[in-house]
Structure 1
């Protein structure tokens, strides 16, 4: 009888381990697929519609270019993060109105000139 209970416990443990490994594999595949479609270097999201329809519903649209020539600083951005995002290592030199690189605030308008080795591929 003890042998029967031991075998039953082993089978139940194996079934639980199989189910757990299956769900872990599914989770890993889902995370890999999510990461494959998320590339912050090459794409940015804008809250505008692709066709300028007046429907009022705004959907995120992928932009191929990460930065326009005129860039408005957003909340929490620094010149370093903007430089990395836009591929312009000379933001301070090309914007004489920026006297202190540490004094960057949301709404500040800066000129961006991406280098030829920018990750956008354009």
Structure 2
């Protein structure tokens, strides 16, 4: 009788160990897929192909100002030093607020 009970206990431990191993393996695979997907998406968003050349394009032509951004930071980020000149609706360059829509035209795209 003890032998049968011991055998069942050993069998349960093996099953629990196998279940844990499969869950850990599944979690690792999902994490690798997620990391690979994030890396692929961020690279696809930052790079554009034009005329066979790979160009860095961080901003769209229509840009929505985010929290904490200034025209200076947007100009540096997007490569457009003439934001105020291209956006006559901006009366005061210091009065930029989140949600403001501006036109961006990069002066020279940066090559990688």
Query: What residue is the counterpart of 1:67 in the other structure?
Result: 59
Alignment of 1:106-117 (within 5 A): 108-111=101-104, 113=106, 116=110
Larger Cα-atom Rg: 2
Unaligned runs of at least 5 residues, structure 1: 45-63
- TM-score (norm. length: structure 1): 0.49
CA RMSD of aligned residues (A): 3.7
Alignment-derived partner of residue 77 in structure 2: 88
Residue 42, structure 1, aligned to residue 36, structure 2: no
Query: Number of aligned pairs?
Result: 90
Structure 1 SS opposite 2:62? strand
Give ranges in structure 2 of 5+ residues lacking alignment.
Answer: 46-55, 85-89
Q: Quick check: which one's strand share is greater?
A: 2
The separation in 2 between residues aligned to 1:4 and 1:109, in whole angstroms, is 77
- CA drift of 1:90 comes to 7.0
Does 1 or 2 have the higher relative contact order (CA < 8 Å, sep 6+)? 2
After the TM superposition, which segments of 4 or more aligned residues of structure 1 sit over 4 Å from their partners? none
Which residue of the partner structure matches residue 33 of structure 2?
Answer: 33
- d(CA) in 1 for partners of 2:58 and 2:110? 14
How far apart in 2 are the matches of 1:41 and 1:115?
18
